[in-house]
Amino acid sequence: MKPLDPRLLRYASAARVFLGLGALLGLAQTVSIVAVAWFTTTAVVLVVEGRAADGLATALVGLGVSVAVRSFVVWALEVTSARAAAQVKSQLRARVVGAVADRGRAFVDRHSSAHVATLVGPGLDALDAYFARYLPQLVLTALAAPLLIVVMALHDWLSAVIVVLTLPLIPVFMVLIGWTTRTAQARQWDRLTHLASSFADAVGGASTLKSFGREQRQVERIGRITDDYRVETVTVLRVSFLSGFVLELAASLSVALVAVSIGIRLVDGSLGLTAGLFVLLLTPEAYLPLRQVGANYHAAADGVAAADDVFDLLGDERGSDAPRATGSAVVADRHEPRADADALVVDRVSVSRGGAVRLPETSLVAETGRVTAVVGPSGAGKSTLLDAVLGLESCEGRVVWRSSGLPPARREIAWSGQSPLLSSGTVAENVALGDTGEPDTEAVVRALDLAGAAGLDPALVLGAGGQGLSGGQAQRVSVARALYRLDRVGSRLLLVDEPSSALDRVTEARVVAGLRRIAATGVAVVVVTHRRAVSDAADLVVRVGGVS
């Protein structure tokens, strides 16, 4: 990322506010620096010349006020930068999460879920150093150095010329060191993301690795990657310390040149004590901001790299250019369409990901008050169709309500996927997941009844992942969660993916009856299924992948 990437201002409005306040505070700090140097010079000259009674008290009071103002401005700049860092991180995280939600699974597949998690977690946390140390010094460099050089030139033009000639040495050293460290910093960030991805893969495939007796090899592999990350981190720290030493040395030698020049002219009488001392006090301050920029750049390097990745990720608008295929057909339509009924219209929707067709071109009209079953062979794209309707998959074609011509809003959709996705807590808490406040007991009982789980105790405490329930019970709790949302939010569309795959025939009949009761209330029910009993009970059956 550039010292100040324009994309930061575009994606995070808090950064623009910070730059404005930082400029004002930087200007105030520069004025206070000049005031401290002036009042210090005045007090010393009065004492040296034996004129303490002429205004020493005034000079000391001015010095105290200037020091207090400078301390306050430094504190205000730190507070402002800390708040700006928190706001910028929040805004960038919200944009990344929004991008993931809007662009769907294909977007996550392109960037790796572990990589995205690393970015929005520890990656963006490193922006604290960028805002707290690096960016304030960058603002001060742009403001303080030119102003201080102008003030110095008004009192001693030769010292100002020496500063102007030696000041570029610091950015030259910064560039040379930057070339050395850029590769090390890139390797460190790559090792971190690689470590996160490897750990996520190992956790996700733990059961498979255990089954084949390969879990120990993964432990050793992650250990090696961790060691690589440690080595790269130490390398970056070593270069950071070296760069700090080089920058301090360059600044010290430059200040020494000015000091020697002033000392010689003080001795031969060509320069007054007031002007010489004043300029000498200002000289280190002219070098300080730029020196601090170089030293703090390394502390902010991780945040800079992470922000750069975030900007690239947010700017990724690529879609899939894979070919579309035709592959849906109405197998059975058991009722005449109703002219007065609203409907979900899926118009030539197709999904391609990674160059492969995940969902062939599919069209259907799911009316409110009816149950629409989506059938087809495994891998035909039935679940992908629901993801496209939910907005989790980028797709070609249209998904709209017939009455408005607009896509269904999130509030209008209740959904139950193939995996129950239960968490530790009571059955009622799992059913009411996402509801604000305490679960509505009556609504929970009604949802469980419609889902064919009337005998399940809402107060039953579950372990992690829904431990304590059978597969069929967990499936019904997941369906009940969607039905609870219908009851509480008033959604018009229910999407259910394989609600009866783990149920016996009797329980399946109860679930099917519950879905038909829900449809009768004016809800469009779309259910993906392999079970004949479910498709036989549907009003409309659509086969994805062609007619068998």
- Mean pLDDT for 217-231 is 79
* Mean pLDDT comparison of 209-218, 302-311, 519-528, highest-scoring range: 519-528
Average pLDDT for residues 342-347, to the nearest whole number? Answer: 89
pLDDT for residue 322 is more than 70:
no
User: How many residues make up the chain in this entry?
Assistant: 548
Q: What percent of the chain has pLDDT over 70?
A: 81
pTM higher than the cut 0.85: no
What does the pLDDT average to over 129-139? 75
pLDDT at 192 over 90: no
Q: Is the pLDDT of residue 191 over 60?
A: yes
Apex 333 CA angle, 328 and 337, nearest 5: 110
Q: Which residues contact 79 (CB under 8 A, 6 or more apart)?
A: none
**Whether the predicted pLDDT of 390 surpasses 90:** no
Task: Convert 107-119 to b/e letters by CB count within 10 Å (16 or more is b).
Answer: beeebbebbbbbb
Confidence of residue 548 (pLDDT cuts 50, 70, 90): very low
Do the domains spanning 6-314 and 328-544 agree at the CATH topology level?
A: no
Q: What is the pLDDT of residues 264-294, one digit of tens each?
A: 888 888 888 888 888 888 888 888 877 777 6
pLDDT at position 220 is: 76
pLDDT higher at 337 or 495:
495
pLDDT in tens, 536-546: 888 888 888 75
pLDDT tens, 426-441? 888 888 887 777 888 8
* The residue type at 254: S
CATH class of 328-544: alpha beta
Which pLDDT belongs to residue 3? 60
Give residue 324's pLDDT. Answer: 41
Highest mean pLDDT among 28-42, 168-182, 335-349: 28-42
* pLDDT at residue 526 tops 90: yes
Return the higher-pLDDT residue of 399 and 296. Answer: 399
Phi then psi for residue 141, to 5 deg, are -60, -45
pLDDT over 70 (residue 62): yes
pLDDT band at 64 (very low <50, low <70, confident <90, very high): very high
- In whole numbers, what is the pLDDT of the chain averaged over residues? 79
Taking the alpha carbons at both ends of the chain, their separation in whole angstroms is 55
Lowest mean pLDDT among 18-27, 191-200, 467-476: 191-200
Residue 295's pLDDT is 62
pLDDT confidence of residue 69: 92
Most confident stretch, 17-21, 316-320, 436-440, 513-517: 513-517
What gap in Å lies between CA 453 and CA 503, rounded to an integer?
11
> Is the pLDDT score of 116 beyond 60?
yes
Q: Which CATH number fits domain 6-314: 3.90.1150.10, 3.30.565.10, 1.20.210.10, 1.20.1560.10?
A: 1.20.1560.10
For residue 522, pLDDT over 70 is answered with yes
Q: What is the pLDDT of residues 299-312, one digit of tens each?
A: 566 666 667 777 77
| Residue 369: other Cβ atoms inside 10 A | 18
Query: Which of 198-202, 337-341, 369-373 has the weakest average pLDDT?
Result: 337-341
Residue 425 confidence (pLDDT): 85
Q: Which of 26-40, 57-71, 108-122 has the lowest mean pLDDT?
A: 108-122
| pLDDT of the residue at 27 | 87
pLDDT at residue number 144:
81
**CA within 13 Å, CB half, 23:** 6
Q: Out of 75-89, 176-190, 283-297, 430-444, which region has the weakest mean confidence (pLDDT)?
A: 176-190
CA angle 362, 367, 371 (to 5 degrees): 85
The mean pLDDT value for 305-326 works out to 57
Q: Name 385's Cβ contacts closer than 8 Å, sequence gap at least 6.
A: 346, 349, 351, 359, 362, 374, 528, 544
What pLDDT, on the 0 to 100 scale, is given for residue 318?
44
pLDDT of residue 321: 39
Q: What is the pLDDT of residue 127?
A: 72
Mean predicted confidence (pLDDT) in 479-501: 87
Comparing 2-11, 119-128, 330-339, the range with the smallest average pLDDT is 330-339
| Domain coordinates in residue numbering, the chain | 6-314, 328-544
Query: Residue 330: pLDDT band by 50, 70, 90 thresholds?
Result: low
Tokens 């059956």 -> residue: 541
Q: Rounded to the nearest 5 degrees, what angle is found at the Cα of 131, between the Cα atoms of 114 and 246?
A: 100
Residue 438: C-alpha distances to residues 364, 432, 441, 450, 456 (Å):
38, 8, 9, 21, 19
Instruction: Give residue 284's pLDDT.
Output: 85
- Going by pLDDT thresholds of 50, 70 and 90, the confidence category of residue 525 is very high
pLDDT at 304: 67
- H or E element at residue 529: none
Predicted pLDDT of residue 317: 47
3-state secondary structure 257-306: HHHHHHHHHHHHCCCCHHHHHHHHHHHHHHHHHHHHHHHHHHHCHHHHHH
Ramachandran assignment for 514, one of left (phi > 0), alpha (psi -120 to 50 degrees), beta (any other): alpha
Residue 335: pLDDT above 50?
A: yes
Q: What residue type is assigned to position 161 of the chain?
A: V
